Amino acid sequence: SILVHLSRGGAEVQMYAPDVPQMHVIDHSKGQPAEAESRNVLVESARIARGKIASLAKLTTADHDAVIFPGGFGAAKNLSTFAVDGKDCKVNREVERVLKDFHKAGKPIGLCCISPVLAAKVLSGAEVTVGHEEEEGGKWPYAGTAGAIKELGGKHCVKETSAVFSLTPVYEAHVDTKNKVVTTPAFMCETELHNIFDGIGAMVKNVLKLTGK
């Protein structure tokens, strides 16, 4: 979704991933870890990147106008230890470096789904959203993440994946203008796929806008 919206926005994209082992290899037909199997995050990321990818260690702020982190369990397991350690999590060293470097340079940072926890951990006082703070009957199954963000030192802002007024859908992203951090809930909400896609689009649009280009 991020790549589609960046393409439509006319952005030139370079993809990066940490060159580290995956925490788990998942058998998605069972939804369970595959025992006695190991994979590398960079190698697996190359599937999505169609081979056009480099080690995250090679990412330099000077070469780019903005950075966007996708979400999902990869962010909670491989970019950090949030899936296991929650508020006591550690962030991958290169991920932390990139976040701090872009923040220091005043360049926009986009995050979606679970990845806003990375900013909450690394950038003290950053405003982010992972959606709602209550499960609301299962619509927001990961609502507890909002509390963890607060404990990490971040400020959580309640946002919708989509809110319908009459027949007009409004897709939301939160923009922390001071820190130039843009976040959207994405799959933190149990909703239709097009709502998630459009929410990510709102995040990407705001990141591109903040670059001033």
Spatial contact of 71 and 114, defined as CB atoms under 8 Å apart? yes
Set 112, 113, 157, 189: catalytic member: 113
Residue type, 23: M
Q: Which of 2, 210, 212, 3 is nearest to 108 (CA)?
A: 210
Catalytic: 89? no
Query: Which phi and psi (to 5°) does residue 26 adopt?
Result: -100, 130
Q: Which residues have CB under 8 Å from 141's CB, separation 6+? A: 135, 188, 190
Spatial contact of 107 and 182, defined as CB atoms under 8 Å apart? no
Query: Which phi and psi (to 5°) does residue 55 adopt?
Result: -65, 140
Using alpha carbons, list the distances in angstroms from residue 164 to 11, 27, 52, 110, 161. Answer: 30, 36, 38, 24, 10
Using alpha carbons, list the distances in angstroms from residue 205 to 66, 193, 195. Answer: 12, 18, 15
Spatial contact of 174 and 159, defined as CB atoms under 8 Å apart? yes
Instruction: Provide the Cα torsion 31, 173, 84, 144; round to 10°.
Output: -100
List the catalytic residues.
113
